[in-house]
Structure 1
Amino acid sequence: MHLARFFKVDSFRHVAGYILVFAVAIFNPAHGQSGKLIRILNSDRATGSRDVSYLAGNVVFEHEGARMYCDSAVRYLQRNIIQTFGNIQLNQGDSLLMSAKAMEYNGNTRIAKARGDVVLSDREMTLQTQAIELNRNTNTAYYTSSGTITNDENTLTSQIGMYYADLKMFSFKKNVRLHNPRYRMECDTLQYYTTSRVALFRGPSHIYSDSGYIYCENGLYNTVTDEAAFNRNAIVRQKNIEMRGDSLYYNQRKDIGRSFGNIRLTDTTEKFTIIGQYGEYFGEPNERMLVTKQALFLSYADQDTLYVAGDTIRSIRLDSTGHRDMYVYPNTKLYRSDVQGRADSLRYTTVDSAFYLMGDPVLWSDTMQITGRLIVLTLRSNEPDSLFVRDNAFILITENDTFYNQIRGRDMEGKFIDRKLYQILVRGNGQTVYYAKEDDGTYVGINRADCSNILIDFEENKVKEIKFITKPEARLIPLGKESDEDIRLKNFKDRFSEKPPLEFFKNRIRIQ
């Protein structure tokens, strides 16, 4: 019977459609696949069915530019997946090579999942781990089972890692370690570029070396040039020097550093710190420091801190003995509990532990004021020891709000005992104004004397005795009979209002 008579016409068309679909399913092995089929290039032995085949001996297969080798494999034709075992190698042209003990490769997703002594390498690096996922679409590799990367002299380890082959960059997380013959780095998150050998890190990060230590919470390190840029609580310690700042640049090889914002340069041996808003450090052979913008020097050599403030502070180590010169300028101010001062500029040298105040300098100690063209204050065991005043030397001592004892001369030399001025020798053109008192403290008059050289003894910063070395011209002027010339020596100037308070220096510290 003719089929057209047996079936209705519409039913026949439906059956024909079913037959066509069935035929396509049988004769088109790529049915249901979204990617090109994995091609088997060689196998010494093959068993199984068309859909599931077992391959053994020198197995070679290829997929879209990648060639893979193994001892044995199972191929799932319909799923376009191959599972491989033993001596596995995956070559992606000249760009990437991977080996492992076992691997599953999906031809649709172009993802290879390898495990067992996995080694992934290109021209720049070698990665070793126990399990990895290689995505050929994004050209990335990902592991979560701890990995080790070697790149020339650098070795990196981490718990989690992602490799971006196109960028030649690794992204590491958890227990990240970078080892180099010159240093080691520890951090939580790091990006490492295998071509440039530059490392970017986030979170608490530590760099250790034989010569020092670096800490920051965000930074960049060039492992070739040993140059680094850090920010977020950055700290660099090299030998006896510690640098801190909002951001730091440091060249470990040249021992050069620059810091920006809330910076601190500390010498842990000499126990001083310089703070400011911008700083530079240069290491051997002549160690130099420069700090500007609200600069402040603090010496912690004893319980009484010394503060020296200025717009700019420079420090240089003079020789191998460790002696150092420090320059502070302009608008210099200094403070200790026993002495305060100001000048346009200041020089301090450790050779003789002396402060040189220049440019309209002035020193105060309790009720005493000292001025001259140049003032030199020397220390012994970090305590005031000697005082030298050159040209137009003048000492002003307040008796009360109205009376001032005064000593004037060309030059003066003084000696301290127990932080107090003990004696002053006036050399040349000596003059004094001294308010004489009875034993009960009643003022009786003004002792006005001129003498070339004068020796003054002090007690608790008060005049105890005046000795005229050569014959003086002296007179006692009763109170109420004095003129302005009698009670004001030439160059008299009350500058006590300029004395810097401790709060001024503490405010600079708070800025940090």
Structure 2
Amino acid sequence: MTSQSLKGIFATLPKLVLFALLLIIYRNGNAQVTIAGDTTNLLQILSHTRQLTLQTVDDSTQLTIVAGNVKLKQGNTLFFCDSCVKNDRTKLFEAWGNVRIVDADTATVTANHLRYFEDKQLAFLDGNVKLSDGHGVLTTPDLEYDMMTNIGIYKKGGRVVNGKTVLTSKEGWYYADMKDVYFKKDVVLKDPAYNIVTDSLLYNTESRTARFISYTTITDSSQNVIKTREGFYNQVTKQAEFGQRPTILDTKGRRTVTGDRITQNDSIYMVTGRGVIVDSAQGVTIIGDKIFQNKTTEAVLATQKPLMIVKQDNDSIYITADTLFTAKLTALYGTQDSIVVDTVSGLKIAAIGEKDSTNRYFEAFRNVRIFNDSIQAVCDSMFYSFKDSVFRLYDNPIVWAQNSQITGDTIHLFTKNKKPEKVEAYDNSFMVNKMDTDAYNQIKSRRMDGYFIDGNIDSVRARGFAECIYYLRDDADSSYTGINETKSDIMDIYFVEKELDKVVFRSQVTGTIWPLSHKKPSEMRLEGFQWLEARRPKTKYEMFE
């Protein structure tokens, strides 16, 4: 049969039928075909069980057809298949059935069908394609694999399995040398610890590190939701970093964490750069340039100009300090079925439940300042419980309400509906009420209790070696008529429209009423008198400074 007639027969047959006929015409043996000359970068047929070589079209085109456990080699790369056709002129060969490429130590690829360009070392695979780099396994309908760069590309959907982690996307670039995969379009990563949805993602199968390069949503096993535009997460070390103003939403605790950058080390988040934590369940916002949060215990530590805002309708409370800390009361006292007594203050705290909405406290350390429209305070350390709504102020505390100032060794400020209800000053308590330039009403005692109505101071009771200096006024025209300097065991002080109205002495009273002409205001000072208005927070805006 001539070449022309053979050509006509081949032209009329489909490729698979042609192969069936060719496989019928075979010769036994394991002949090896070696290309003459430099074989360093040429494709060599190493072994097979059946071979047919055909001369077609003209003398320049020769097809080498082999079948049965076929093995080929180019450089350090081995090819395996059930059958293949090799065109020496075009440097192209196709392989069918159990196709396998072993690229030295880089990767192994399997498929049903392969088209391979020998000069370019470019492989096109389709049909149940799998690529393994020793760590992850990629499956895809078809794959373009560059043997020179060891880069595989899929554009009809792919799936990478790495341990318990599964990643899918419409498109992907697999960098076998670096064990990196670039996933693009409808990227989804599923893992027992979290799920990731994004448009683009880099993943290293060896280090098991995911890098975020576009808008990404991460949902962990606790249903915390992280939104970020850049960063990484290492599945082995549990370390992560999120950038470009990421947000973490705790859907159970209704808490949102935001900052310029958030890093995670196991269960600890560190927020840097204008960090904000909003606890909508407690109505609390924490701001700071560096914030740490334990996502397991829900404890929060804020430093570098931290600010806490306790929200209420029209008169929120602002608290600043060098350091702010908040955590669950059950972490401090444990879960209790009965009344708990605070070992520091002696105050009784009602029973605490783990799921109680008031199961929280916060502390402030160094340079503590508190502001709201009704009351302001400073101290060196503070403790607040959401269970009893009491601010416990320690180390040189000062509380201001309108024109009045209260000091003591320790002060407890009780609030109700987040408004001041009562203030208690213990040991060396001292109250100053400014009347005019250099004129001050003053009361000192061992203990002092002040009461508020609608956020305004209404009355004060001073007990234990109480002393007072206060200015008497004429009821008709409110002009000053004298100065009362008195000692008593118990005194009650009453205010009207935020001004001191009268003082009532309850027992063991001794004292003097001085005419105004006999005493200068600057001379009328009780021992320990201080007017500390310069330390008083004036507006909520200075709390952000």
Corresponding residue for residue 537 of structure 2: 500
TM-score normalised by the chain length of structure 2: 0.81
Q: 1:485/1:226 Cα in 2 relative to 1: closer, same or farther (>3 Å)?
A: closer
Letter in 2 for 1:436: L
Query: Which segment drifts farther, 437-446 or 89-98?
Result: 89-98
Matched, 1:215 2:236: no
Partners of 1:190 and 1:36 in 2: CA distance = 37
For 2:98 and 2:291, the matched residues in 1 are separated by: 57
Matched, 1:470 2:470: no
Q: Which residue, 242, 254, 258 being the options, matches 2:256?
A: 242
Alignment of 1:480-491 (within 5 A): 480-483=517-520, 487-491=524-528
Q: Identify the residue that residue 178 of structure 2 maps to in structure 1.
A: 167
Aligned-partner Cα distance in 1 for 2:150–2:94 = 20
Instruction: Give the root-mean-square deviation of aligned CA atoms.
Output: 2.7
Deviations 1:147-195, CA, capped at 9 Å, x for gaps: 1111111111123222122222212223221111231112233221112
Identity between Structure 1 and Structure 2 (%): 28
Residue type at the aligned position of 1:422: D
Tell me, what secondary structure is at the counterpart of 1:264?
strand
CA contact (8 A) 1:99 1:118 kept: yes
Kept in 1, the 8 Å contact 2:268–2:294? The answer is: yes
| Distance in 2 of aligned mates of 1:426 and 1:355 | 20
Indicate the SS of the match to 2:396.
coil
Amino acid at match of 2:47: L
Task: Summarize deviations over 1:349-390 as a string: whole Å, max 9, x none.
Answer: 234221122222211111111112221101122221221111
Aligned pairs (5 A) from 1:106-125: 106-125=117-136
Which residue, 488, 491, 506 being the options, matches 1:451?
488
What TM-score, normalized by structure 1, do the two folds share? Answer: 0.86
CA distance in 1, matches of 2:36, 2:155: 34
Look up the match of 1:182.
Answer: 193
Given candidates 391, 395, 399, the residue that maps to 1:359 is 395
- Check the 8 A contact 2:192/2:221 in 1, yes or no: no
Q: How far apart are residue 30 of structure 1 and its match?
A: 7.2
Task: Give, in angstroms, the shift of residue 141 of structure 1.
Answer: 1.1
Query: For residues 237 and 535 of structure 2, what CA distance do their matches in structure 1 show?
Result: 50
Aligned match of 1:418 in 454, 458, 481? Answer: 454
**Which region of structure 1 is more displaced relative to structure 2, 205-214 or 473-482?**
473-482
Aligned partner (choices 487, 493, 497) of residue 460 of structure 1: 497
Deviates more, 1:61-70 or 1:158-167: 61-70
Determine helix, strand or coil for the equivalent of 1:243. Answer: strand
2:463 to 414, 421, 427: 427
Q: Which moved more, 1:189-198 or 1:474-483?
A: 474-483
- The answer to whether residue 283 in structure 2 is matched with residue 256 in structure 1 is no
Q: Is residue 62 from structure 1 mapped to residue 99 from structure 2 by the alignment?
A: no
Q: Which residue of 2 aligns with 1:36?
A: 42
**1:461 Cα offset (Å):** 2.2
Equivalent of residue 110 in structure 2, options 65, 88, 99: 99
Aligned length: 478
Distance 1:306 1:505 in 2: 13
1:390 aligns with 2:426: yes
Q: Distance in 2 between matches of 1:113 and 1:137?
A: 14
Q: Is the 8 A contact 1:448 1:486 kept in 2?
A: no
Tell me the alpha carbon deviations over residues 252-284 of structure 1, each in whole angstroms, 9 at most, x when there is no partner. xx5322222322233332121222122222244
For 1:268, which of 265, 268, 280 is the aligned residue? 280
Provide the C-alpha distance between the structure 2 equivalents of 1:153 and 1:29, rounded to a whole number of angstroms. 46
User: 2:48·2:66 contact (CA, 8 Å) conserved in 1?
Assistant: no
Q: Does 1:378 align with 2:414?
A: yes
Matching of residues 2-17 of structure 1 within 5 Å: none
Instruction: Report Cα offsets for 1:451-507 as digits up to 9, x if no partner.
Output: 121011222322233211014223332222214576222222221222112254453
- Return the letter of the residue paired with 1:499: R
TM-aligned CA deviation for residue 237 of structure 1:
3.2
In the alignment, residue 96 of structure 1 is paired with which amino acid?
A: A
Task: Give the letter aligned to residue 262 of structure 1.
Answer: R
Measure the CA separation in 2 of the matches of 1:432 and 1:339: 23
> What is the match of residue 10 of structure 1?
none
* Stretches of structure 2 lacking an aligned partner (at least 5 in a row): 1-33, 336-352
Residue equivalent to 1:152: 163
1:135 to 146, 150, 159: 146
Distance in 1 of aligned mates of 2:540 and 2:414: 25
- Letter of the 1:442 partner, please give it: S
Between 471-480 and 412-421, the greater mean CA deviation after superposition:
471-480
Q: Does 1:308 align with 2:322?
A: no
Q: Which amino acid aligns with 1:338?
A: S
* CA distance in structure 2 between the aligned counterparts of 1:38 and 1:77, rounded to whole angstroms: 11
Structure 2 CA distance, aligned partners of 1:83 and 1:354?
Answer: 81
* Secondary structure of 1:497's aligned partner: helix
- For 1:125, give the aligned amino acid: G
| Segment of structure 1 superposing worse, 52-61 or 464-473 | 52-61
Matches of 1:484 and 1:335, distance apart in 2? 30
Structure 2 distance, partners of 1:434, 1:387, is 21
SS in 1 for 2:315: coil
In 2, the alpha carbon distance for the partners of 1:226 and 1:390 equals 48
1:25 — aligned with what? none
Contact 2:318-2:543 within 8 A present in 1 as well: no
**Native 8 Å contact 1:60 1:67 kept in 2:** no
